[in-house]
Chains A and B, each alone.
Chain A
């Protein structure tokens, strides 16, 4: 097993417990097969990437893992539990959180409020409790707000913009808030959909090392969709390549880079 030089070898768990697995998963929209018979596994505490040309079905695949789409065929298990037909909010409370390719913050809520929504599944206040504002609800509200600020600081958002509306934040800060919002649900698996899109090389580097920090400090497992090959090759322990909805290659960065099918998918047939 090849480990990227910069990743601390001790924290990877080769052959560790499988956290998420898909078995022959397909998604068919009318006549279009967006994802076709994809089986794959993510070991606990690993960093795995999905790559592939545009329209390869990567985001559709993500949407199935998070419950936004139900697979037409196949099974998805998370920590041994079948989540193929589980609602998105239940999947979040089981421990999968995500960010979106085109940032989807709640634009007119503040950064803190966004992250507070991320903790929804971990909160208990109900309708009557919120109306009466029982001590338990007050305490929960205070804790949640505090944790939201902690999360925002953890992802590196300056504290003077914590109460700024999300729409007014700089692009990079919006990405940070989205990650904080996902982290706020205490996930075990974090899905990042093109996290470095629109970032300059320096910001990408920072994010790459932040991903490793997430794995090491918070025991997270990460799955990312990424186009920036420098990021993909630098951070991933395993890479899965999708093309036209099918898995065409899988392996560590070296194997994938050398795979002729991958080269063909990206650059076209040679000769």
Chain B
């Protein structure tokens, strides 16, 4: 009986996912192949992947990460490095080509197959996630936030000034504000090369496939040994350790998994925008992704999807296209886009006042907020009375 209930509960999410994804898949057919709405949806899809990644770290494991942009940056740069003429003099200016598209195979620089780079990005950024996790292991709550914030800022500084950091035969680490461009277009074996000048739909379907994959991983991990351990750590670290949950390993896996999705999304965006520019990786972006998961409901998978799509559309559609002229009609001389972060902040304030558990809250989180259980939450969580003396020499 209970097994049946579990099954149905599981299938409910499956049915919802299939319906949502199927609906989303036919959506671009209603718009022009180059419609800016499709463009907005592609960006939203990439943000959903990122938000679902951050949700594992902040929502499941309760580790407040304010430097998530670092993983976006690393993923995007991985795409830039391995799919452009950035390292143009490599192999005697003939370039290195592995499974690259027809056109890219004639260019100097490193050109790997898009799917290959996607996997490489996931691995590199996953490892980076563990590295950022290491110094936070002795910390709790707000202190974790400060360390991750610093890490995000360090990566940004490297991105901006990377054009002055050279190695080998004058290779630059990044191209700073000049951007690494053009990045090869997406070329998947068996499909025509994607071309953003003619048709945006393939990009949308590809990012939708990424969203489906990340959704599957999120649901499966949440209802697994590891997912329970994450929630246990979020609820009560001392009790979790005493029940046999290894704190260091479990937290590092949360960081690595969350980071890997950030890297995946970053790599995709690098290829979609065909350019990797340092100013995309400012601190504000970390807060932007965090705002998505807070708006939707920390820890709630469907809530996070909703939050990411909503904020993304507010950012790319409602502010610049729909309400941009509002200040003018009020006799004020500025564009609404300059206020976008102010608007996000105001929305978060509204959510905190009216619906602190988020739009589609997770059952557990809703309890914590309404029943006043201040247990080890990520944001302003109570520090418990006993601390585990981890890693004492």
Contact = CB atoms under 8 A, between A and B. Distances in A.
A68 interface: yes
A140 B244 CA distance: 17
B238 interface: yes
Interface stretch (A18-26, A33-41, A115-123, A205-213): A115-123
B228 A93 contact: no
A70 interface: yes
Contact of A89 (B217, B245, B253, B363): B245
Interface residues of B, number: 42
B225 A130 contact: yes
Contacts of A107: 235-236, 367-368, 373, 375
B2 A185 contact: no
Interface stretch (A98-106, A195-203, A215-223): A98-106
B242 A120 contact: no
Interface in B184-234: 216-217, 220-221, 224-229, 231-232
B225 A109 contact: no
A116 B221 CA distance: 15
A246 B242 CA distance: 25
Contacts, number: 125
A109 B239 contact: no
A108 interface: yes
Given A107-B373, A120-B244, A125-B224, A167 B238 contact: no
**Prevailing SS type, chain B contact patch:** helix
A85 interface: yes
B169 interface: no
Interface magnitude class on chain A: 35 or more
B235 A163 contact: no
A131 interface: yes
Nearest to A103: B239
Given A69-B389, A106-B231, A106-B239, A123 B373 contact: no
B367 A68 contact: no
Nearest to A105: B239
Contacts of A116: 228
A16 B367 CA distance: 48
Given A88-B388, A108-B367, A109-B364, A117 B238 contact: no
B102 interface: no
Contacts of A108: 231, 235, 363-365, 367-368, 373, 375
Contacts of B245: 89, 117, 120
A133 interface: yes
Q: Give the residue among A97, A98, A167, A182 with the most B Cβ atoms within 10 A.
A: A167
A258 interface: no
B370 to A, nearest CB: 11
Given A88-B242, A109-B235, A130 B371 contact: no
A89 B247 contact: yes
B329 interface: no
B224 A141 contact: yes
A58 interface: no
B228 A113 contact: yes
Given A89-B246, A131-B217, A106 B235 contact: yes
Given A88-B241, A117-B243, A131-B217, A106 B368 contact: no
19 contacts: A68-B238, A68-B241, A100-B239, A106-B235, A107-B235, A107-B368, A108-B365, A109-B231, A117-B240, A118-B244, A120-B244, A127-B253, A130-B220, A131-B221, A137-B224, A141-B225, A145-B6, A167-B371, A185-B244
Interface of B: 2-3, 6, 216-217, 220-221, 224-229, 231-232, 235-236, 238-247, 253, 257, 363-365, 367-368, 371, 373, 375, 386, 388-390, 392
